[in-house]
A and B are shown apart, each in its own frame.
Chain A
Amino acid sequence: MSSQSNYHYPDALGHFGKYGGRFIPETLYAPLTELENFYRKIKDTPEFLSELEFYHKEFTGRPTPLTFAENLTKHYGKAAVYFKREDLCHTGAHKINNAIGQILIAIKMGKKRIIAETGAGQHGTAVATVCAKFGLNCTVYMGEKDIQRQAPNVARMKLLGASVVPVTSGSKTLKDATNEAIRDWVTHADNTHYIIGSAVGPHPYPMMVRDFQSVIGTETKEQLQQITGKLPDYILACVGGGSNAIGIFYPFITDESVRMIGIEAAGEGTETKKHAATLGKGSDGIFHGMRTYLIQDDKGQVIEPHSVSAGLDYPGVGPEHSYLHDIKRVQYVSATDKEALAAVKTISRTEGIIPALETAHALAYLEKLLPETKSGEIVVVNMSGRGDKDLATIMNELHIE
């Protein structure tokens, strides 16, 4: 796994600056420490790395291509645009990179049962997939509202043999599904591993998920080097919890010439209450076991965010993004529902790739960025997932007949 020469986060207690850490009931201290110690012990061993590489090659479909977006590049006549094709991973998104890594850890730790939370169902599907492959019992917590909104993924998880538990507490969406998964883990940590779906939660999760997702950035660097002999000038990725973004950013953090931009969901607009722009509009808080930016009201109660994309609909954000935001290493901007939907149509028709609604937020930003770029510059967009799961929403919103 890649390491940075002068960027050493998190620290021993899991802090990224003041963010991250462990804000948890004492009951979880032991399982989290056990996980952290185990993970640190094996993560860089040749055996583990070759096993991970083997399954990535045989099962995930790695390395994923770095595709030159020729038509789009010609259209703007400025920087060259490349897509890192995580949409071509098995199950259709980058989520499987983390699911495979974590299930290998879980198996080595002797865990028999896997739990996960899911919002749009992409992470749930990835976890159900690896559980089927490695023969582990799988329970996925999903908000009742999301179950209704994401029927195809619910069907996929069930077909793969997972049990999908509807969550009816709180706002019945991703944040509550995460609460329920943590509650399950508090009760069953002795035989159960919790595969968290993004670079969020208590230490060591943000670090571990980042490490497993950083294969995206590592491959991008090598591929672009081969094609152009250069580093990219810009890297774009959408940010919900932020796992695909940290995965592509991390290996470039110390390459100072690389400008990195994270795109959050502005929903109906950041001037309205219906958005999911945690870094743009949120404030310092403590949530899901970590200190991070949080969308909350003036009493410190967590507010349910809004985005047309269920995968960006999260009131928190990975603590490393909070840190990168504060030190201004990454610039965080946002794209609205409308802009994302328009980008889905544009990219489908110019490049022959139907992106996920989440990914479309990053793609939407190209329209603002590209006119500002210069010919000869390079922009890489993390194509984090494919849009098949969103077809019903897309067709409905775009009124395509």
Chain B
Amino acid sequence: MSKINLQSYIEEKNSKGEKVLSIFLTAGYPDKENFIQLALGVLESGADMLELGVPFSDPLADGPVIQASSTQAIKNGVTLNDVFAFCTEIKKRTQKPVVIMSYLNPLFHYGAEKFNEGYKKCGADGLIIPDIIPDEQPQFDEFKITSEELAAFAAPTTSPERMRYIDERKWSFLYYVGMLGTTGQSGAYSDEQIAKIGEAYSKIKNNKMLVGFGISGPDDIKKIRNHCDGVIVGSLIIKKLAEHPGKFEPVYSLIAALKNALHNEKMKNEPA
């Protein structure tokens, strides 16, 4: 199956008046055996896009929830080869995009050429690396992954000049860190945070912007949805999995609720 261009995919959704719901799963969590079933269930429940997280021992940008799932996945023996295998299997059974998310070190250690081969073969539609900034991109050149397949990040601390610099290039999408800090922080989005997101969204010209970090439920999504092209939810999902061992249904209904919040009929003319 052919690679999906994420920017066009998001654009197409947007043109139908839809925003994109991207769901993050730590690959091989809670276990390796049922992971593909979980991933497909997540997509069937309403996720428009799936992020497969490669577990890493020192996930700097993540909070305790994803960290713990990462530690568990490493204990489960999940490797980059497993992630490629998961991706291959999932891509056979969905028309939706699947992207790989990984800290740089596991990729680096795997080797650029070998990674490129596995990445292409598994049919992944993009790559998210949370610890590489555009300034260090040359050190990633040997991986031969085009910037159109990579996500760029921006945060509330990103200056307008830097935002322009990042937006000069076309990325698979712009991952906007809606809340300062690590993933999965508790507490709803504040008006100030929403204003920051809106400000960033108004400045982005060449890329699609998805907002993630600390989305705590449908209410946050309702606040954010008019200021982005889509949202990314991770910790909330992982937490639900941890709370209901052996059961995926609670996660599926949560995703349905998130999707519903994103696609409320009042979306277009609702006040910001």
The answer, yes or no, to whether B257 is at the interface (CB within 8 Å) is no
Give chain B's interface residue range (CB within 8 Å of chain A).
Answer: 35 or more
Q: Quick one: which of A26, A169, A176 contacts B158, CB cutoff 8 A?
A: A26
Q: Sample 6 A-B pairs with CB under 8 A, ordered by A number.
A: A26-B158, A29-B133, A169-B67, A186-B61, A187-B185, A285-B105
Q: Are B155 and A13 in contact (CB under 8 A)?
A: no
How many A residues have CB within 8 A of the partner chain?
39
Q: Are A299 and B181 in contact (CB under 8 A)?
A: no
Flag B165-186 by CB within 8 Å of A: 1 or 0 each.
Answer: 0000000000001001110010
Q: Are A301 and B177 in contact (CB under 8 A)?
A: no
Q: Are A27 and B110 in contact (CB under 8 A)?
A: no
Inter-chain CA distance A370–B106, complex, in Å, is: 42
Q: Are B139 and A21 in contact (CB under 8 A)?
A: yes
Flag A230-258 by CB within 8 Å of B: 1 or 0 each.
Answer: 00000000000000000000000000000
Q: Are A183 and B181 in contact (CB under 8 A)?
A: yes
Beta-carbon nearest neighbor of B104 in chain A: A286
Assess A285 versus B109: contact at CB under 8 Å? Given A301-B74, A302-B57.
Answer: yes
Q: Quick one: which of A29, A169, A170, A179 contacts B162, CB cutoff 8 A?
A: A29
Q: Quick one: which of B103, B158, B180 contacts A187, CB cutoff 8 A?
A: B180
The answer, yes or no, to whether A24 is at the interface (CB within 8 Å) is yes
Q: Are A302 and B109 in contact (CB under 8 A)?
A: no
- Which residues of chain B are near A31, meaning CB under 8 Å? 157
Q: Quick one: which of A26, A169, A186, A294 contacts B105, CB cutoff 8 A?
A: A294
Residues of chain A in range 124-180 having any CB-CB distance to chain B below 8 Å = 169-170, 175-176, 179
The answer, yes or no, to whether B136 is at the interface (CB within 8 Å) is yes
Assess A182 versus B60: contact at CB under 8 Å? Given A27-B180, A299-B80.
Answer: yes
Inter-chain CA distance A31–B155, complex, in Å, is: 12
Q: Quick one: which of A22, A186, A187, A301 contacts B133, CB cutoff 8 A?
A: A22
- Which residues of chain B are near A22, meaning CB under 8 Å? 133, 135-136
4 new A-B pairs (CB below 8 Å) besides A22-B135, A26-B177, A27-B155?
Answer: A26-B157, A179-B60, A187-B180, A285-B105
Q: Smallest distance from the beta carbon of B119 to chain A beta carbons, Å?
A: 15
Inter-chain CA distance A148–B112, complex, in Å, is: 41
- Which residues of chain A are near B103, meaning CB under 8 Å? 286
Inter-chain CA distance A86–B247, complex, in Å, is: 58
- Which residues of chain A are near B130, meaning CB under 8 Å? 25
Q: Smallest distance from the beta carbon of B256 to chain A beta carbons, Å?
A: 30
Secondary structure dominating the interface of A: mixed
> Which of B's residues lie within 8 Å of A, judged by CB?
56-58, 60-61, 63-64, 67-68, 71, 74, 79-80, 103-110, 130-133, 135-136, 139, 152-159, 162, 177, 180-182, 185
The answer, yes or no, to whether A359 is at the interface (CB within 8 Å) is no
Beta-carbon nearest neighbor of A171 in chain B: B57
Q: Smallest distance from the beta carbon of A143 to chain B beta carbons, Å?
A: 13
Assess A170 versus B57: contact at CB under 8 Å? Given A26-B154, A299-B109.
Answer: yes
Beta-carbon nearest neighbor of A34 in chain B: B157
**Most chain A CB atoms below 10 A, which of B109, B155, B159, B177:** B109
The answer, yes or no, to whether A30 is at the interface (CB within 8 Å) is yes
Q: Are B158 and A30 in contact (CB under 8 A)?
A: yes
Q: Are A23 and B109 in contact (CB under 8 A)?
A: no
Q: Are B157 and A30 in contact (CB under 8 A)?
A: yes
Q: Smallest distance from the beta carbon of A55 to chain B beta carbons, Å?
A: 31
Q: Smallest distance from the beta carbon of A205 to chain B beta carbons, Å?
A: 14
Inter-chain CA distance A25–B131, complex, in Å, is: 5
Q: Are A189 and B71 in contact (CB under 8 A)?
A: no
- Which residues of chain B are near A176, meaning CB under 8 Å? 58
Q: Are B108 and A300 in contact (CB under 8 A)?
A: yes
Q: Quick one: which of A18, A24, A29, A287 contacts B58, CB cutoff 8 A?
A: A287
Q: Are B56 and A301 in contact (CB under 8 A)?
A: yes
Q: Are B158 and A29 in contact (CB under 8 A)?
A: yes
The answer, yes or no, to whether A275 is at the interface (CB within 8 Å) is no
Q: Smallest distance from the beta carbon of B53 to chain A beta carbons, Å?
A: 14
The answer, yes or no, to whether A289 is at the interface (CB within 8 Å) is yes
Q: Are B182 and A187 in contact (CB under 8 A)?
A: yes
Inter-chain CA distance A177–B208, complex, in Å, is: 36
Q: Quick one: which of A170, A179, A298, A300 contacts B71, CB cutoff 8 A?
A: A170
Q: Are A13 and B177 in contact (CB under 8 A)?
A: no
Q: Are B157 and A189 in contact (CB under 8 A)?
A: yes
Q: Are B157 and A300 in contact (CB under 8 A)?
A: no
The answer, yes or no, to whether A291 is at the interface (CB within 8 Å) is yes
Q: Smallest distance from the beta carbon of B130 to chain A beta carbons, Å?
A: 6
Q: Smallest distance from the beta carbon of B65 to chain A beta carbons, Å?
A: 11
Residues of chain A in range 264-298 having any CB-CB distance to chain B below 8 Å = 283-289, 291, 294, 296, 298
Q: Are B182 and A285 in contact (CB under 8 A)?
A: no
- Which residues of chain A are near B71, meaning CB under 8 Å? 169-170
Q: Are A296 and B182 in contact (CB under 8 A)?
A: no
- Which residues of chain A are near B58, meaning CB under 8 Å? 170, 175-176, 179, 287-288, 302
Inter-chain CA distance A284–B142, complex, in Å, is: 15
